[in-house]
Amino acid sequence: MAATSMPPARQVWGTQQRIRTDLSATLFLSSPHEYDGGELVLEDVVGHQGIKLPAGDLVLYPSTSVHRVEPVTRGVRVAAFFWVQSMVREDTKRSILFDIDTAMRQLGDENPEHKALLRLSGAYFNLLRLWSDT
């Protein structure tokens, strides 16, 4: 995935407004036991990941991700999908923020009083302000 790749813009239904499709979301509306197959498969740096979540659960992923849905072999799979425009335009910058946030959460779980958490939090929010379109 190139740092300069940008998802296309989509027109907001009923308006002339267009938004970037930075993130994709799939909301599972059928329970997994209601159908066989139908996994959402995401392909990324760690390989293929099959996702089949309970009804009401949602998965959010970069729109630049290669993805597909496996054929349904029994029952009916009902899902909704939509796109989200992020405050941070570039996928690589969103990925950096995600990694920092993940590391901060892990550090906070292991040692909630760690002094580095405050500095990391400040750096995270400074980057967010610096990189944000809004």
Per the CB < 8 A criterion, the answer to whether 32 and 53 are in contact is yes
Q: Which two tokens stand for residue 31?
A: 């329970």
**What share of the chain in percent tops pLDDT 90?**
66
pLDDT for 47-56, tens place per residue?
889 999 999 9
Give pLDDT, residue 63. 87
Give pLDDT, residue 32. 97
* Helices and strands (DSSP H and E) totals, the chain: 2, 10
Mean pLDDT computed over 6-22: 77
Q: How confident is the model at residue 65 (pLDDT cuts 50, 70, 90)?
A: confident
Per the CB < 8 A criterion, the answer to whether 120 and 104 are in contact is yes
Fold annotation for 11-84: Jelly Rolls (2.60.120)
- Tell which residue, 49, 55, 46, has the closest CA to residue 26: 55
Does the pTM surpass 0.85? The reply is no
